[in-house]
A and B are shown apart, each in its own frame.
Chain A
Amino acid sequence: MMRWLAALLAFLALAGAAYAQPVNTGHLTAELVPQAQGIAPGQTIYVALRQQMLPGWHTYWRNPGDSGQPTEIKWALPDGWRAGDIVWPTPVRIPVGPLVNYGYEGQVLLPVAITAPADARVGQTATLSADAAFLVCREECVPEDAKLNLSLPITSGPAPADPRWGALIGKTLAEAPKPAGLTAAFEKRGPDVVLAVAGAPLKGAADVGAYFYPFDSTVIDHGKPQVAERGPDGLTLTVTPGYAFQGGAAPKAIAGVLALDGKAYELTAAPGPPPAGTSGLGPPAAKGSPGAGAGGPSLGLISAAAFAFVGGLILNLMPCVFPVLAMKAASLAAHGGGEERRARTHGLAFGAGVLATFLILAAVLIGLKAAGAAIGWGFQLQSPPVVAVLALLMLAVALDLSGVFEVGTSLQGVGSGLAARQGLAGDVFTGALAVVVAAPCTAPFMGAAIGWALTQPPAAALAVFVALAIGFALPFVAVTFWPGLLARLPRPGPWMDVFRKVLAFPMYGAAAWLVWVLTLQAGAPALARILAAAIVLALAAWLAGLAQKRAAAGARPLATGFAAGLLAAAALVAVVWPAYGQAQAAPGVETAHATAEPYSPERLAALRAQGKPVFVDYTAAWCVSCQVNDRVVLSTRPVVDAIHKYDVAYLTADWTRRDPAIAADLARFGRAGVPLYLVYGADGGKPAILPAILTQGMVIKALQAASKAR
């Protein structure tokens, strides 16, 4: 009879499956849910604490991050029953202002292994009770708790999966981080901690969004971005150390979870040098490491596009662009009077060249950025071969302007017989050339706009680049479309030849400047190489000019033309291959300030801790605006005097070569490139950001304000 009753009870319990009552604690609904419909004596099944949060609210992982508290479960089980620890699913990062928490939003299942004793009575129903305590937060935090019960039938053999929760608990367990035999080591490197991880699961894995969640909340600074670099057998994360590294101390081990696009592994890193094969392949080909925390300043699409447009307009006046465009405009004047239609066609062709080139650059930039590269605008100029090729290009343009040889349609109408088609190709080429040479001159407005664009989805980013291209092309296209403007341009005449030869010199200057940049990047051997290549190119240009003159005279100077082409190709190859070495010394953009020190986040922190005002000059040798500002403003007597007078520390952050720390700083201030000038006041507040083009008065005023803020 008793047996029959027990069987009936068991059946009823099974019919209702395991039975639990959800509890609404105010901001979430909590309940205990089982993996199986019952449990056999001696068997272990998982029972999960399920939390269903209100939208916008979250609970915490085992390490809550900068604030918060992990969920706790206190079990009250029948005699002989055992409960394990919570199996924590991989959390998400929840930014709160500049801070970052680790936790769960929406629904989370926290599975716990429950083991029935071997002598559990089949047919009975066990009641598992738990006091669950959790902090549930949106912006504000509310501690809530729930007394939860689960009735679990004791079955003779393993019971079938719970129809509602079985599969989900199984999935949660399958996806939870697990040890995977990874070898990991960490090492303090300057202001950073480098965490390197190697192991079979990482070999050739798609390291998308690599992020390390430490178990201990004091080992890393959760709010700072983690910069990833791939290697053949693993990866390296550069993270900002937390409190555990304060005062010269270091933890004995760093344990946590490495998450890589949907997969997660537990690991424990020992102090020491990185295992082999954990670096050298650059950033992961992925979404990069999303720098949660301090979000960059927000700029709407409309204002970003407007800034980009104005930035494009201003770009026309930059020293590396103006000669190219001025010559082009002057050549247009030659089309004046009755040839407006053709002028328009030329204008549009130029505009198309500009647009296409910007879009190509944007696509490359967005692509690299998507691959997680810590790069920004002007990135092309961080590569020595590109700088060398540009130097040769500038030289070629200069030689053309000097009249050594001619490209495309002649500017003086010598080649007026040439097909219009060729002229249009020349226009497109001019547009492309103008964009390529403009890259180092980040105009005001443009910096913020491009910085914004690079944080956006590709469509919005492209829109900003299109606005930039339109702004850049507009003055020239407008000239071609406005007959009135065209008429106002000076009439063509012999003066044009003089003008053209004068304009050759800024281009020689640009070439010389790029050679200087190259020397800083790749050292003295590169100087010899580029100068030799320049001489060969000059010879090629002269031969080309000779061939053109003979051709004009009716001859067919095939050999001369061929030699010219061959020499030019040789010059080009010589500067691209083989690879450049690195400069011996630090690249060091030289500044005239005796007091200038190289920038490091650590140095900045130390100076600010002393209550000193600090000027940080984010610069690069290849950045023309930076060099102009340095020569015309920052290195001048009055500014240097003011630096001494107000006792301001001057830090130079040199981005001539790639530097993830500087790239991260620029990103934090919403910039994609240099220049960026920050003035930190003595009071330790936010820094003032100076515009991309400086004046002496402006800088002195900012220095004064910074020292007064004391």
Chain B
Amino acid sequence: MRKLPLHRRTLLAAALAVGFAAPAFAAPQINTPAPAFRQLDQDGKPRSLADFRGKTVVLEWTSAACPYSHKHYDSGNMQRLQAKARKQGVVWLTIITDAPGTSGYMDAAQVRAWMKKEHSHATAVLLDSDARVARAYEAKTTPHMFIIDKAGRLVYMGGIDDRPFTDPASLKGAKNYVALALADLKAGRPIAEPVTRPYGCSVKYGP
């Protein structure tokens, strides 16, 4: 039975027919190499994690249709954090995973307009509607924050702060885990709280 009496093309067709790709989850682990990714940004430029070796990278999941993201953008909280991080040489990638057909989905032109409107200070916004990056990081919520250090290790994952509410008043006195983690990194200290609970709307994965 060396060769099965089946035409190869038939087999390939079968493979296509049967080969549904289902999500394969493998949770990212803190203090291990961050999952690699490659995705297009708002200008159609491919961005991959490897491009930023030697720099600290922040990943921020957001959705224009999510009240939790709105709390941080409408108040300017997220933009301030972005600007401060960028000033320190940190690469900030905002990631929009909302699948086509969901209310937060945006095409490249819409993302560019959104960045302008929100005065985003992100290095780039990744158009992740096929959820490639989200699945690699098991992103659960908007916002959901990750920090990758200069060596490419995942050093922070979790919420943006300790106030899992939509009310803008909750920002007052909030403990911003991302700001604290970036400060720890800058000072060469171990990150005090490297894993926290992410909160927000669910990431809108496509079917």
Instruction: List chain A positions with a Cβ less than 8 A from chain B.
Output: 66-69, 96-99, 101, 133, 135, 137, 139-143, 217-218, 221, 223-224, 240, 243-244, 246-247, 249, 294, 296-297, 299, 307, 314, 317, 319, 444-445, 447-448, 601, 604-606, 608-611, 628, 632, 668-670, 678, 680, 682-693, 695, 697-698, 709-710
The residues of B that contact A669 with a CB separation of less than 8 Å are 20, 22, 24
Check A710–B36 contact: CB distance below 8 A: yes
The residues of A that contact B31 with a CB separation of less than 8 Å are 247
Given contacts A297-B22, A691-B12, A140 and B103 within 8 Å (CB-CB) = yes
Partner of A317, one of B5, B17, B26, B205: B5
Check A686–B23 contact: CB distance below 8 A: yes
Check B5–A98 contact: CB distance below 8 A: no
Check B29–A693 contact: CB distance below 8 A: no
Check B4–A685 contact: CB distance below 8 A: no
Check B18–A448 contact: CB distance below 8 A: yes
Given contacts A67-B201, A317-B4, A609 and B12 within 8 Å (CB-CB) = no
Most chain B Cβ neighbours within 10 Å, of A96, A135, A139: A139
The residues of A that contact B200 with a CB separation of less than 8 Å are 67
Residue B114, interface by CB 8 Å:
no
Check A685–B141 contact: CB distance below 8 A: no
Stretch at the interface among B81-89, B132-140, B171-179: B132-140
In the complex, 26 of the A-B residue pairs with CB atoms within 8 angstroms, ordered by the A residue number, are: A67-B199, A68-B202, A97-B202, A98-B25, A140-B201, A218-B195, A221-B27, A243-B196, A247-B29, A444-B14, A444-B18, A445-B14, A606-B32, A609-B154, A628-B4, A632-B2, A632-B3, A669-B22, A683-B38, A685-B135, A686-B23, A686-B132, A687-B21, A693-B11, A697-B8, A698-B12
Among residues of B, the one whose C-beta sits closest to the C-beta of A216 is B197
Check B26–A608 contact: CB distance below 8 A: yes
Residue B76, interface by CB 8 Å:
no
Within 8 A of A (CB), among B27-43: 27-38
Among residues of B, the one whose C-beta sits closest to the C-beta of A240 is B27
14 more contacts with CB within 8 A, not counting A67-B199, A139-B102, A668-B22, are A67-B141, A99-B203, A133-B167, A142-B67, A224-B25, A606-B29, A628-B1, A686-B23, A686-B132, A687-B21, A689-B15, A689-B20, A698-B12, A698-B15
Given contacts A243-B158, A691-B11, A223 and B25 within 8 Å (CB-CB) = yes
Given contacts A221-B27, A243-B157, A243-B197, A66 and B140 within 8 Å (CB-CB) = yes
Complex Cα distance A23/B194, Å? Answer: 42
Give the total of B residues in contact with A, Cβ under 8 Å: 70
Among residues of B, the one whose C-beta sits closest to the C-beta of A297 is B20
**7 interchain residue pairs of minimum CB distance:** A97-B205, A605-B26, A297-B20, A691-B15, A684-B136, A611-B36, A67-B202
Within 8 A of A (CB), among B80-134: 102-104, 130, 132-133
Among residues of B, the one whose C-beta sits closest to the C-beta of A99 is B202
Check A98–B195 contact: CB distance below 8 A: no
Check A709–B203 contact: CB distance below 8 A: no
Residue B54, interface by CB 8 Å:
no
Complex Cα distance A10/B20, Å? Answer: 67
Chain A min CB distance to B152 (Å): 9
Chain A min CB distance to B87 (Å): 29
